Homo-oligomer: A and B are copies of this chain.
């Protein structure tokens, strides 16, 4: 059920069509793992790699690191750290916004950025 692997494979194959350096071997070297390991990851034979490697993979594939981490079942450590620094606050925020539609949440974010609070 690991959609992470097939997602990466699909994305990589697409890029490989127009750029031969997106072979398993070469991409693996670029993100700092052994080719056989990336191969196993793509086929879901092994769980997704560490946060660091997933982020490197995201950058190579031109994907959003947070999205790829999510597919890997992870949450970026900088987000976790922000939550751990003010656990009550962020727990409240996240649980409150959990079921609020994207549009509404984005409006809030924009207002914060514009200093309208």
Asked whether, in the complex, the Cβ of A67 is within 8 Å of the Cβ of B87, the reply is yes
Give the contacts of A45-102 with B (CB-CB under 8 A): 64, 66-67, 69-70, 73-76, 78-80, 82-98, 100, 102
With A87-B69, A89-B102, A112-B108 as contacts: A82 and B94 at CB distance below 8 Å: yes
**Given B88, B94, B109, B112, which contacts A83 in the complex, CB threshold below 8 Å?**
B94
Asked whether, in the complex, the Cβ of A94 is within 8 Å of the Cβ of B79, the reply is yes
What residue in chain B is nearest A64 (Cβ atoms)? B88
What residue in chain B is nearest A110 (Cβ atoms)? B96
**Given B87, B107, B108, which contacts A66 in the complex, CB threshold below 8 Å?**
B87
Tell me the smallest distance from the CB of A11 to a CB of chain B, in Å: 16
What residue in chain B is nearest A67 (Cβ atoms)? B87
A102: B residues at CB distance < 8 A: 86, 89
Residues of A near any B CB (own CB < 8 A) = 64, 66-67, 69-70, 73-76, 78-80, 82-98, 100, 102, 104-109, 111-113, 117
**14 A-B pairs, CB-CB below 8 angstroms?**
A64-B87, A67-B88, A69-B87, A70-B87, A75-B84, A83-B94, A89-B105, A93-B93, A96-B113, A104-B112, A104-B117, A107-B117, A108-B111, A108-B117
